[in-house]
Structure 1
Amino acid sequence: MTMEGDKNGGMEKYTVTLSAEEAEQLQALVAKGTHAAAKMVNALILLNCDESQARGRRRSSQEIAEVLQVSPRKIDRLKRRFVEDGLEVALRGVPSQWEYEHKIDGEVEAHLIALSCSVPPSGHARWSLRLLADRAVELELVEAVSHETVRRALKKTNSSRGARWAG
């Protein structure tokens, strides 16, 4: 893994040089074919960008992009990630650093399930996700919640309105 400075538009040029072990690992990953598509595409990009002596002349990023039907920018980003962070991060991507506080815990979930199984408010034939969300706020189970969050919570517990086995 090396990095060279390049004055083309102020962008740095990253040179991918795979060790024999890394190249073998990527070849095996691609040959097996049971991994996520994005991971396999990343492996193919790295194999095609390899400039080690064993691989000979490599194609340009533009040629690789056309063959693999990805953008040249994706290739540049992947090369940079490989050089800066290593093979594993280049294959899997950078894990999200966002952490969200869950609005619905087990207790609120139980209340929502019980509420969805109860008689709907007058004027309504059944509970809608919006009605459930509004009622959860009225009961002060949560400060605020969207109907989508309610949907995910009910789906997780197999209590979606469309499920035949749900109550």
Structure 2
Amino acid sequence: MSPENDRIELCRNNWSRDGAQDAEKNKLKPWRVKSWVIPEASAEFVCQMEEVLDVYQRPFDQKRPIVCLDEARRQLVSETHLGFTDKNGVDHVDYEYKREGVVEIFMVAQPLAGQRQVVVTQSHNSIEWAKVVGRIVEEWYTDADRITLVQDNLSAHRKAALYEVFEPKRARTILQKIDFVYTPKHGSWLNVAEIELSILTRQGLTHRVASQAEFDQQVQAWVSQRNDKLAKVDWQFTAEDARIKLKRLYPSTIES
């Protein structure tokens, strides 16, 4: 082989080796991958989606409020070493921490009124859900004639659970004031309460909290501040928009 061919072969080998290394590096970049639950095209999904979207198009009516409910779990952690604040006002915390258990957050939001309520509990089950539903009817919306409650279709969201918490007449009275509307599977983005939970995480839970009492105090301070501002959610996405922008989710139809 000539010297020129040797150089060409060497370049090829180097390119092949370096190219393989680069390809391998590109496989190991988890920060460039975003997790997303992609719904499958189905009549069931779009039917529930459009039902929720139609609800959000209703005008504000205090006698018939639209209320959204969602839950989230948060870890309680305590510091193992004391942190400090530097001269620029920046807080510094040690990367080590101690797990102190978890709490459940129930977010109840009324988008058009700019009001929300948050309940912090130790567990997330049908009993705790039923207690929150009872508070929606009997404490927060006592003047409402009818309440539309938007939530996901979790197994814990059992109407029968109200009969396990309240005596029958009271349970029936609560349920008779609520119209349940469910977001579709893989459609949690349709729940305004989930948006409020995201805002709470960014604005109201800015440092490590070790106890449920402290956690609840921090959450309620955020609730009061946001309610005082009447921070509303102006939902603009409609069923008509969905039929265009999310056309791929709609199943093929049989024309008569």
Q: Under TM normalisation by the shorter chain, which class is it?
A: under 0.3
Higher relative helix content: 1
TM-score of the superposition, structure 1-length normalised? 0.24
TM-score of the superposition, structure 2-length normalised? 0.18
Higher relative strand content: 2
